[in-house]
Amino acid sequence: MNTIVQLDNPDFSPEPMEIADIAHHLFQCEGRWCARFEGFRLSSVFQPIFSPAHQQCVGLEALVRVQDTQGNFLAPPLLFSGKSRARIVLADRICRLLHGKNFLTLKEKELWLSLNLAHEVAIYGRSYGIFFQKVITEMGLDPNRVVLEIMEHPVEDPALLENAVLFYRQIGCGIAIDDFGTGQSHFDRVWRLSPHIVKLDRNLIRNAAESPRIRHVFCGMVSLLQESGSLVLVEGIETEEEAVIALEAQADLVQGYYFGRPAPPAFPGFRRMEPTLHAPSPKPPVQGKTHPRKIPPSG
């Protein structure tokens, strides 16, 4: 394992790789797990991801909530901004362990857990991911029920990202490209990475609701991504009109305040998709596409 670290990233300075080194940041509070990091208090919330075809919640995206010593909520990116790579990696590890532990308290057998990866960690996934492999093994998390969300972000060396994605696939996790459609989004990158899920940035559905022309393009974009073999998740749905557009485009998965807000662990209400909306007509399945009720495939 250490050989891979050195070969893959010569600048890599060894980090504490044992879970115990990260776990001491965590503590239990009112039946759930929280963490301390650089004076911040971190906690998990989970936002439901629904399959319109099944009218059910199929997964949960874990998000971190950051509070200062006075209890004020701060923007989560503060956790990572201006930090050295070593601190970013540490913060990312704490978050993933925190979310994993909180997810396990739900004792869910069906839902998959979607985790956001810090960009630094995503790029050097092969170096840093080994820790995560240990985490899922030690926690007894099934890697096939874990989806890693990687930001659609310019990268200097696309080969590094491809390598990282390959590594996470090899350990059995699903891959999602996050925020697709922002900045310099490239379809060719999606073709190369061949993610299980493509999450469309919230601005796309917002713009589609404002213009019939963009609405048409939006539906075409969903189809194109589906034809490449990925499931398409429309995120940031906040209004009924946006929900109708997502269903009209026959998105495989939907997420947003309209269907369910992020909430702390323990949420019986996440089961059914409310309000009930149906896609206008079924689209024939794309060959090789996975049933969205099930966990995205690995490999």
Applying CB under 5 A, which residues contact Ca ion?
116, 149, 178
- Packing angle of the helix pair 240-248, 212-227 (nearest 10 deg): 50
3-state SS assignment for residue 241:
helix
- Least Å distance between CB 10 and Ca ion? 31
Can you say whether residue 289 is alpha, beta or left, with left for phi > 0 and alpha for psi between -120 and 50 degrees? beta
Decide: 226 and 200 in contact? Cβ < 8 Å. Answer: no
- Least Å distance between CB 164 and Ca ion? 16
- Least Å distance between CB 149 and Ca ion? 4
Q: Which of 9/181 has CB closer to Ca ion?
A: 181
- Least Å distance between CB 115 and Ca ion? 9
**111-122 b/e with 16+ CB inside 10 Å = b?**
bbbbbbbbbbbb
The DSSP symbol for 275 reads: S
Beta bridge partners of 199: 233
Q: Which of 149/242 has CB closer to Ca ion?
A: 149
Q: Which of 94/176 has CB closer to Ca ion?
A: 176
Q: Which of 149/252 has CB closer to Ca ion?
A: 149
- Least Å distance between CB 120 and Ca ion? 16
Q: Which of 23/232 has CB closer to Ca ion?
A: 232
